[in-house]
Structure 1
């Protein structure tokens, strides 16, 4: 993959888990990066190269407009969002406000200031419960929770705005992001995170009493949900590939980011126990609302269109990197 040309990049939500890894890779590729983040879930400590940080909320239209104008950026990467699917079922307006409305605010500012390229952090949740448990970009979009709906609505706005105003975009539909920087410089910092691998690592460290399996009667081989877990470093590199694609004149597109293979909840827990060497407590609990049986990417398009090749496609590697980061984080907080 060729390195993107040097330019100023504005990254919303760039102090968060995913955004900070992308910011680091952009910096390492030679870009000047400006981060716009309200720090509600992100941390300035995640900006390890001292990237410029503008503390602001996307609800503040004047501030985001001024940030784009002042930086002169022509490319925006948009990560800022609420992301917990079960929570969205109980707090739908939070998701339509923070995800959909704030994306509208950002798009309006981008159009007004002449932004040319837009990379959108979308989600496989837009597919809902796809037939057969796997989804390609041409699969029907039928989200089963407000989180997925809020992201799909944002995709529609992005599509229509790009058509009307002449900018280009890539919407990347993530599957289950996990892991951490292999050098343990950064990872997921949110203590209340609901991601399975992080939760299981915390249990192994004694930071949690144990792990709950939410649902053991799914239509899967071991009765637990199956997800396509992708290493954060591979996900981050997909954004640089998407940006390079647009800089070279690529057409707007929607692309899955996953490996094309899934692991069950029980499999993940087994690997975390192996890596940590801790036989932590595991409870069985009822299903959570908004969780499909299986969700795995059909991931051919990202390879053919973006020329993206994953480097960390291995559950043990993902867990080992997550464990190394969680151990470092746990020890620093003691």
Structure 2
């Protein structure tokens, strides 16, 4: 089988590609390198193309023997999605629509979609189950939910089997230390805290008045390699489970911003210089996944289910590469 991996030069996509390489599974990468890195696809089969252009998809991919699609490509900065609504819609929704239509035309039956816990909005209960109401509060979450609904409709009308994976907070880096999180600008918590510690720069904690023990918000962090394994398990799941399916990918454990800072300080033996800034509007106090459905139905097992393991891998990448 040959798996088409979109966004394979990005953070999560590149780790999935590494996972496929270790399993000796054939793949081909598509990326426009708007946020991905060419160094992550060096010596790999890839096409540089824009999924917003359906003709470009057909011309480049029509003759390939693709058996499944794993779709990571898209824009993912929540604050940008509010300011760049049209660009986010085109890159996240329109591009996904074009790719899904190509899958239907080519009779590619398996489609795995990189969704997000952002589809839930402000949670009514913790941990969050897949049947929790979906009421996204930002354009990024709205984009993800719109694509989920599009794929659900297509799966009911055509022979297209879909798994949507709702990530919580992807974090960490590959054990080899040469592949990790590298955004520009960097917006994710753990790499920013590490950068502050290593570069003696100031880190801003966005508020300390949340309804948690230490006043900082709590998030569910999941190692990027555990995310990668879930995508391959999802493809296997579709062998015997047709139609449309949704799964949470989280650890069922939450850590506060201050707990992350303290763990970084302990592992680096360096003080993190931080200040408390203003609380972000609409930021939930706590986001923690219920992952029992993924564990039971996908047979998914977390290999790095500790904050220490996640942060240690990120530190290794930052020291080796950045």
Contact 1:129–1:294 (Cα < 8 Å) also in 2:
no
Residue 290 (structure 1) shift: 4.2
Contact 1:256–1:299 (Cα < 8 Å) also in 2:
yes
Contact 1:37–1:56 (Cα < 8 Å) also in 2:
yes
Distance 1:169 1:12, change over 3 A: same
1:287 aligns with 2:279: yes
- Corresponding residue for 2:262? 270
State the alpha-carbon separation in 1 of the partners of residues 252 and 315 from structure 2.
23
- Corresponding residue for 2:37? 43
1:130-177 CA-to-partner distances (Å, cap 9, x unmatched) read: 113431001000111111010000000010011111110100000000
- Aligned to 1:169, what secondary structure does the other structure show? strand
1:215 aligns with 2:207: yes
State the alpha-carbon separation in 1 of the partners of residues 8 and 47 from structure 2.
10
The aligned length equals 322
Q: Unaligned regions of 5+ residues in structure 1, if any?
A: 1-6
Please point out which of 76, 82, 85 is paired with 1:92. Answer: 85
1:138 aligns with 2:126: no
Residue 109 (structure 1) shift: 1.4
State the alpha-carbon separation in 2 of the partners of residues 78 and 281 from structure 1.
38
Q: Unaligned regions of 5+ residues in structure 2, if any?
A: none
Please point out which of 178, 185, 208 is paired with 1:192. Answer: 185
1:229-271 CA-to-partner distances (Å, cap 9, x unmatched) read: 0001111111111111113445531000011111011111111
State the alpha-carbon separation in 1 of the partners of residues 27 and 44 from structure 2.
6
Distance 1:101 1:57, change over 3 A: same
Please point out which of 156, 161, 174 is paired with 1:168. Answer: 161
- Corresponding residue for 1:102? 95
Contact 1:245–1:306 (Cα < 8 Å) also in 2:
yes
- Corresponding residue for 1:20? 14
Residue 37 (structure 1) shift: 0.1
State the alpha-carbon separation in 2 of the partners of residues 122 and 247 from structure 1.
21
Residue 294 (structure 1) shift: 1.2
Please point out which of 308, 313, 323 is paired with 2:315. Answer: 323
What TM-score do you get using the length of structure 1 for normalisation? Answer: 0.93
- Corresponding residue for 2:144? 151
Contact 1:86–1:290 (Cα < 8 Å) also in 2:
no
Distance 1:150 1:185, change over 3 A: same
Contact 1:86–1:288 (Cα < 8 Å) also in 2:
no
Q: What is the root-mean-square deviation in Å for CA atoms of aligned residues?
A: 1.4
State the alpha-carbon separation in 2 of the partners of residues 28 and 238 from structure 1.
15
Residue 34 (structure 1) shift: 0.4
Distance 1:88 1:133, change over 3 A: farther
1:271-296 CA-to-partner distances (Å, cap 9, x unmatched) read: 11111111021011112244222111
Contact 2:156–2:243 (Cα < 8 Å) also in 1:
no
- Corresponding residue for 1:70? 63
Residue 98 (structure 1) shift: 1.2
Residue 29 (structure 1) shift: 1.4
Distance 1:202 1:271, change over 3 A: same
